[in-house]
Structures are given as structure tokens and as C-alpha cells.
Amino acid sequence: MSVEWSVRVNRSFTLDEVLRSSTAHLQEILGSPGDESLTVIATSTLVAGGGRRPIEPQGLAEIYDPYSWGAGTESIDFLLEVPAIGGGCSLGLAEFLPRGDDPESGLFAYVTSDRTDGSYVLSIAMSIAIAVCAAGQIVDDANLLGSGRLIEGEELLEKLRSSERDQTLDAAIATVLAGTKIG
């Protein structure tokens, strides 16, 4: 099954910040800090009609601001992957109802996995990164992360951070998933 988590965006961020943060968090939860093979890369963005377009370097520095996102701004979807873990995920940005005081409205980031263990772990790291970079909480409607519906990114990182340093990559992925209701 594919899994989706969302985060309300409360602060501006760039895709580059999220990629660096998700790389660091992925390395931490897999017990491999500094392992460059676990670098998250943005491969493309989806365009109208279902096509894909490579992400230009200047696209990594584009600022996504929840307070300037308005009616008529189209949603954006990025495809992300880490070849070493055989997994990818998508990161989408879209407005859900006009932004107001209601915490269920405004600009949201949606992280969607595919159906592989590596993708689930990448999606968790990406959700943590978005929560940290965008000053939001992870919304886990299915309670797959086992911490309630709303989860602070740092809290989830602490829960899943691996202290094991000499595991194989497959064993590290299995350890992370064992700490959730996914695996």
C-alpha cells in the first residue's frame, strides 16, 4: 500500500533546505550519519498532463511561502529518490481551503510513498524534514507512525533514530519500520 502524510506549512522553505534536512534525517534513522549513498535527490517535477520535467538548479532555491500562496496558485509535485535504498516518494504542495486560523486550512505539503520498504522510510524522513523546515506537525490520519494524529518532526526523529551503526541497509530499514505500524 502507498502511504501519505501531510504537514501544514507555517514557514517559508526551499526545496534545497528540505533535501538537505531529509538526507540528514534519513541517515540518522538508518544509523548511517554522513553516508553519502543515502542522499535524497529531486529527480523531476510533474507538469500538467502527467508529464515530468527535470528540476533546474534554480528551482532548488525557489522559496515556498505559505503566506504568498494564494487562489490560482497551482499545486506542485516533486519526485524524490534515494537509489541506494531502492525507494522514491513524491512531495506535493497544495492549498487546502483558504488559509485562516483553522489549523486544518492553508498550504500543506503531502508526502506519498510507493509500495517498497525503502520508500516508506524515505517518506518518513521527508515528512520529518518538512515538519522541521516548514514549522508544522506531521498529520498521520492512519496512525501508522504510532504517535497519535499530530506528531512533531523532532519527536518522531527521536523515536526512530537508530543507535545501531553496523547494520546492513536492509536490516536498518526493517528496524525503522518495526518502530511503526507499517512494518
For every one of its 183 residues, what pLDDT tens digit does the chain have, with 9 covering 90 and above?
789 999 999 999 999 999 999 999 999 999 999 999 999 999 998 777 778 888 888 889 999 998 887 666 678 899 999 999 988 999 999 888 766 676 677 889 999 999 999 999 999 999 999 999 999 999 999 999 987 899 999 999 999 987 776 689 999 999 999 999 996
C-beta of residue 131 within 8 angstroms of C-beta of residue 138: yes
Instruction: Give 152's strand partners.
Output: 137
Q: What's the predicted TM-score (pTM) here?
A: 0.92
C-beta of residue 106 within 8 angstroms of C-beta of residue 67: no
As a whole number of angstroms, the distance between CA 125 and CA 22 comes to 5
C-beta of residue 66 within 8 angstroms of C-beta of residue 40: no
Cα dihedral angle (65, 70, 75, 79), rounded to 10 degrees?
0
Q: Which residues contact 49 (CB under 8 A, 6 or more apart)?
A: none
Among the residues of the chain, which ranges form H helices?
15-29, 57-60, 117-133, 153-160, 169-178
